[in-house]
Structure 1
Amino acid sequence: MNRYITVEIESDILKYLGEWKTGKYGKKLTWGIISKSFGYSRQALSGNKVIKEAYNDVITTLKDTTSEIDILADIAKENKKLKKEITDANALIHEYEQKYIRWQENAMAKGISVEALNKPIDPTIKEQLRKRTQEN
């Protein structure tokens, strides 16, 4: 292996970095990965201005892009959370329905009609005073 990075090796490394930029190999690129792939040290690779600029460009692109898999995973997680909320809400509604039926039966057993239970509550003294002051 050559001790120095030649133009041909540089173009191979740039091509490799271009493939990384598309997300073909994942989202985590390090100098160590490039070093293992081409047999040059991190210092030699980062010392080459063209390779360093391409590397930084790839890193920026990988950080900025969110893959479709990540988006779908987030949607699936949100969907699961919403389904749980719906299940919990339906259980609470069922609980309140059962409580209403129980109260209705107990009231009828005590001789209180449903109409009497549904009768509106008389306004409090404060509410009556507010209403009078608003009318004046």
Structure 2
Amino acid sequence: MSNKFQRMTEQDEARIIRELNKWALGHFGSKLTWAILEDRFKFSRQSMQAKPQIKAAYDVAKQSLSKGEVTSKEVLDKTVDELKTEIESLKKQIEFFQEKELKWKKRWQQIAYHIRQKGIQMSDVDKPVHPEAALPSHTTTEKTLKEFDKEILFSGRI
């Protein structure tokens, strides 16, 4: 064995496997050879091939590259950018709904207060409805809740 190669540690092995997994995804182009890996990692082909996990990762990467399953770095970058944008959008939506939930909680506290002021217990109001009772229709419920929403969203009082 030539002296130009060093001894491989478990960390080296893990790093090579991580790199090969990235290679399989197209991060480093479409050409992969043992010679390229020797140059990149400074280990002999024989020492890398002797490690079953490295050999398996190499075979998977080669197979992925030969099938043309690789996504170009530009496409991956675009996907990452799209995902970042989607994450930001979802964060804004969560923020909006958290704010709306807080306003609803304040609204329900106000309703509960007024119900108690009328001498009615919340336990008398917040209970299941008899199965034969005719509940308001979906449309009527939506209209009612929309009125509450308007007050919550646009009133400075709550």
In the superposition, the TM-score normalised over structure 2's length comes to 0.39
Which structure has the larger Rg over C-alpha atoms?
A: 1
Higher relative contact order (CA 8 A, sep 6+): 2
Q: Which has the higher helix share?
A: 1
